[in-house]
Amino acid sequence: MSEKKATVLLMSSISSHPPLLAAIEAGGTKYVCAVGYDPEKPIAEVRFPTRNPEDTLSEAIAFFKARSSELGPIAAMGIGTFGPAVIDPTSPEYGSILTTPKAGWEGFNVVSAIRSALRADLPVSFDTDVNAAVLSEAAYGSAKGKRYVAYITIGTGIGAAYLHDGKLLHGRQHPEVGHIPIPDFDTAFGKDTNRCDFHDSCFEGRAAGPAIEERWGIPGHELSDSHEAWDLEAAYLAAGCVTLTATWSPNIIILGGGVSQKPGLLNKVRKEFEKQAGGYWSLPPMEEYLNTPQLDQDAGIIGSLMLAQQALDCGQP
């Protein structure tokens, strides 16, 4: 065989087998595991309920071992987790879940469990689920081409992420936008609901799903689209978006999570936002500025595969 032909064959064999990426979208209620060569296109995926850490991780590890036996060794893993969690790779506790009411999870180290089952030196990027979601929406979704991207998820809790010129905002721990103080709009509706054990009036305590259910007596998805609950919810979400506008100055704020899918809610938030912002900022049109995620249910797992790619590129651990 000529040297040239051998090189062509070698190159085609390399290009047909790019590194296999693995990812976990580690939610508080469900775990999603996937593998793929291209973050945008997972080739195998499994979803199952989050239980205690041992059972949950062993189901995840069984999936990765099975896929690896079919497709070859896993080159890197990305994990987008519920929080709070230790996401600083220089910390000895990197990979641990912090204070949480979820039984058995507090102090559990997800990265250690993965590495001891798969490979001790496996590159793993461990970050928050919202950080994973903002990465994928900026690369492939609603925020494609935007430099400064904020993403808020409103579901059983509230979390937010900020992508600044391609770089995720981290800190000593990670942003906890769910616990920013928020005005009490309840009183105007004759209500008094704040579902947070730590704060008198915070974003998550007032506006996440459990607060809506406690305030009106039934879960949000059972409330009619025209219920006054959504005027109040819009006031809280708008206040959160005003705070992010003032602090992060994004090009776009994406509102994801179960609660924000309520029909008509986003338009109420846009109107409320304009009222609360008082014309102070010069912003893009509201229907562009406050937007929905385009990747929908796939944002977390695609973003987690992107975290795996980043771990591989930067040579973690």
Query: Which residues of the chain form contacts with Zn ion (CB under 5 A)?
Result: 179, 196, 198-199, 202, 205
Those residues whose C-beta lies under 8 Å from the C-beta of residue 193, and which sit 6 or more positions away, are 186, 206, 211, 214, 215
DSSP 8-state secondary structure symbol assigned to residue 210: H
Cβ 128 to Zn ion shortest distance, Å: 17
State which residue, 110 or 202, has the beta carbon closest to Zn ion: 202
Q: Of 248, 238, 232, 244, give the one whose Cα is nearest residue 270.
A: 238
Write out the two tokens for 178: 């769910």
Cβ 159 to Zn ion shortest distance, Å: 12
Write out the two tokens for 24: 């976990």
Write out the two tokens for 230: 């959504």
Cβ 145 to Zn ion shortest distance, Å: 34
Cβ 175 to Zn ion shortest distance, Å: 13
State which residue, 102 or 179, has the beta carbon closest to Zn ion: 179
Write out the two tokens for 160: 């937010």
State which residue, 243 or 251, has the beta carbon closest to Zn ion: 243
Write out the two tokens for 280: 């102070």
State which residue, 119 or 199, has the beta carbon closest to Zn ion: 199
* Strand, coil or helix: 41: strand
Q: How far is residue 242's CA from residue 151's CA, in Å, rounded to a whole number?
A: 13
Cβ 240 to Zn ion shortest distance, Å: 12
State which residue, 237 or 311, has the beta carbon closest to Zn ion: 237
Write out the two tokens for 211: 């607060």
State which residue, 170 or 179, has the beta carbon closest to Zn ion: 179
Q: How far is residue 31's CA from residue 52's CA, in Å, rounded to a whole number?
A: 12
Cβ 180 to Zn ion shortest distance, Å: 8
Write out the two tokens for 308: 């795996």
| 113-151 as b/e: b if 16+ CB within 10 A | bbbeebeeebbbbbbbbbbbbbbbbbbbbbbeebebbbb
